[in-house]
Amino acid sequence: MTSYHIPVMLEESVEGLCVKPSGVYVDLTFGGGGHARAILERLNDGMLIAFDKDEAARANRIDDDRFIFLQQDFRFLKYNLKYLGIDEVDGILADLGVSSHHFDDGARGFTYREDVPLDMRMNRALVVTAADLLNERSPEELGRIFREYADIRHPRRLVELLVRHREARPFRTAGDVKEALRPLLRGGNANSFLSRIFQALRIEVNGEMEALREMLRQVPRVLRPGGRLVVIAYHSLEDRLVKQFIRTGHFGEKEENPFGNEEPPLRPVNKKVITPSDEEVRNNPRARSARMRIAEKKEA
């Protein structure tokens, strides 16, 4: 399924799970099934449950009695496991971000390199597209999106250009965004800037950060003592949340700790973040920003 998505840090991530032949494992981002197949190779009579909210991933399902595919958002992890009669699992893998399939399929609208429709919905059941955000959100809301998700500290000029464009005609394609932002696309950083803009729109459309928070909160409740969590993140926002939760069990000083005054339920396995090898980045340039963290649930 490498035409759909090349799995990033495949061996490192599956090794990080410490797969037990009779264990129960969850792949929260099935995609093309690369990580899932590697997990199944290490199972005997164990089980693998795979989540993916994108209907296109269904075509990659694995014909194996030990495999269950759920077309579900991973924010509903605990609910779906309970529906299957599963209270605890031995390992959870999440390869976050966007698959190569999403970027390569112009109709999905994730890329700025082609003049494609501004969609960006990973789940087509969602109503709001990236075009809807740009056409309908207030300037204040647009500013928030680009501050939080594109790391643009002073987005006023950016928002002014977007609003001016939509007052003349609505946003429909990636080309419209590039046209609107032309005054800001000078110099050698244009592609990097556009990448951050499109990343911010995608995160907002799909509610990615809140989904990640909801999923992580459920992990200690469904992971067995000694079980492993492996997360591959592709931008600092995701990685920061994962690192914070592993270290403290919550996402900030002002947030109520769901585990009270107890010790955080997880412990980091790797003190230093794991990155792809130079060889992997040469073979798969999209892996260059990947950051992997591994945690283990503490014994009771």
251 shares its domain with 124: no
**How confident is the model over 116-120, as a mean pLDDT?**
91
| Residue 192 belongs to some domain of the structure | yes
83 shares its domain with 46: yes
247 shares its domain with 269: yes
Quick: pLDDT tens for 57-69: 888 899 999 999 9
240 shares its domain with 288: yes
| Residue 178 belongs to some domain of the structure | yes
| Residue 1 belongs to some domain of the structure | no
HEC sequence for 81-118: HHHCCCCCEEEEEEECCCCHHHHHCHHHCCCCCCCCEC
Q: Which of 144, 175, 206 is the last residue before a domain boundary?
A: 206
95 shares its domain with 213: yes
Higher-pLDDT residue of 16 and 259 is 16
226 shares its domain with 290: yes
Confidence of residue 254 (pLDDT cuts 50, 70, 90): low
What's 92's domain CATH number? 3.40.50.150
91 shares its domain with 14: yes
**How confident is the model over 9-29, as a mean pLDDT?**
97
What's 193's domain CATH number? 1.10.150.170
Question: Residue 1: what pLDDT?
Answer: 47
**How confident is the model over 200-214, as a mean pLDDT?**
95
In the chain, how many domains are there?
2
Question: Residue 243: what pLDDT?
Answer: 96
155 shares its domain with 223: no
Question: Residue 253: what pLDDT?
Answer: 56
pLDDT over 50 at 2, yes or no: no
Confidence of residue 100 (pLDDT cuts 50, 70, 90): low
218 shares its domain with 257: yes
pLDDT over 90 at 226, yes or no: yes
Mean pLDDT of the chain, nearest integer: 90
pLDDT over 70 at 88, yes or no: yes
| Residue 5 belongs to some domain of the structure | no
**How confident is the model over 66-75, as a mean pLDDT?**
96
113 shares its domain with 202: yes
Q: Which of 179, 206, 233 is the last residue before a domain boundary?
A: 206
| Residue 2 belongs to some domain of the structure | no
Least confident interval from 97-111, 182-196, 205-219: 97-111
Question: Residue 106: what pLDDT?
Answer: 52
| Residue 193 belongs to some domain of the structure | yes
- Residue range of the domain that includes 147: 109-206
20 shares its domain with 89: yes
Confidence of residue 107 (pLDDT cuts 50, 70, 90): low
95 shares its domain with 223: yes
Q: Which of 206, 236, 252 is the last residue before a domain boundary?
A: 206
| Residue 4 belongs to some domain of the structure | no
| Residue 87 belongs to some domain of the structure | yes
